[in-house]
Amino acid sequence: MFVTELLGGRYELRGIIGRGGMAEVHEGWDTHTGQIVAIKLLYPGFDTHPDYLRRFWAEAQSASVLHHPNIVTVYGSGEHRGAPFIVMERLPGRSLAEMIAHGPVAPDYVRKMLSDVLAALSTAHAAGILHRDIKPANILFTADGTAQVADFGLAKGPDTHRTDTGQIMGTMAYMSPERLAGRVATVADDLYAVGVVGYEALTGRRAFPEENLVALANAITSNPPIPVSILRPDIDPQLSAIVDRAMTREEPARFASAAVMWAELADVGGDPVTGPIPVFRPPPVAPVAERPVLLMPPPEFRQRRTGRLLLVVGLLVALVVGAIAFVLGAASQRTPSEPTRVITNVAPASVGGGT
């Protein structure tokens, strides 16, 4: 009888449920508790790279000290035959990235999701821990629709080792202009990423869709995206303004802390949201600015214009004929004995006064 080797002598590995830049996540079975869990494992070969190992253990350490309803719970970590692993809470819901793939998310649920994420970050920041990789794939949902922040693999705390000089860690599409310029990560960078995530959830499109890294960096630093209020005029203007403010390029104009941004969201109208998060698909709208521009007027317009032109010409001709008739009539009244001559054609030789 074939017996499957247990990870760490305790966990039974099952299928892969997610992949990241340096690790993959398996569903697992805790044989001690009878509980379904999620187990993160470094890719083969990565477990011998010092920087990846530091980041992996940093996640285990950071997440293990953060206990909050909006942060994925880490049960423990260990090594199996030299390979490190992290055991986490297994959430039954989808990630925000999977939801956005189906279109914009309902605004009320986006507001709730952002509030949950900010509550998690407020706790993490208070503990001196930055996430540094907030993005839709790292926001997961429980069965009741509560958002939880996962993957503190790039988290930075007081005891975190620094990466190599000039190395920028994270997902570029969600980085602030300051991070791209090489500045050390701060609270402001996490909040900027929250704004970009909110933009993507509300609009169903990435704020910076460029695939080329040079073009993407240029867009983040020089070309702000179209404001949410223009793409989604149907949602609460206050919610749009909060998202736009969080991701503005001018850092002083952003929110000072997760708690401040969280408080602003609390003032946005809407009933309390409960239950699974549905996918929201707004009705198709053809904005005036996006309608095709006609280089030539349509046929019906040209027909109307031609008709008006003919009418004007006809009136002018009638006026000229009437004037001629009036002059000729007046002349006939002054010299009735002189026959009236009407010139109907003029020979070319007479034009110019020839003999």
Query: Could you list the active site residues?
Result: 133
Contact residues for 38 (Cβ-Cβ < 8 A; gap 6+): 17, 25, 26, 27, 28, 87, 88, 89, 90, 91
CB-CB neighbours of 304 under 10 Å:
12
The structure tokens listed for 337 are 């004995």
Q: Cα 84 from chain centroid?
A: 35
Separation CA 238–CA 246 (nearest Å): 12
CA-to-CA dists, residue 43 to 47, 152, 342, angstroms:
7, 17, 104
Tokens of 60: 């285990």
Whether residue 40 is annotated as binding a ligand: the answer is yes
Q: Assess contact for 239 and 110: CB atoms under 8 A.
A: yes
Which residues have a Cβ under 8 Å from the Cβ of 175 and sit 6 or more positions away?
168, 189, 192, 193, 220
Check if the beta carbon of residue 168 is closer than 8 Å to that of residue 177: no
Is 70 in contact with 149 (CB distance < 8 Å)? yes
Complete edge-to-edge strand list for the sheet that includes strand 23-30: 11-19, 23-30, 35-42, 83-89, 74-80
Burial class of residue 245, CB neighbours in 10 A (0-12, 13-18, 19+): middle
Q: Please tell me the distance from the alpha carbon of residue 197 to that of residue 189, in angstroms, as a whole number.
A: 12
Cβ atoms within 10 Å, residue 26? 20
Q: Which residues are annotated as a binding site?
A: 40
Q: Which residues are annotated as a binding site for ATP?
A: 40
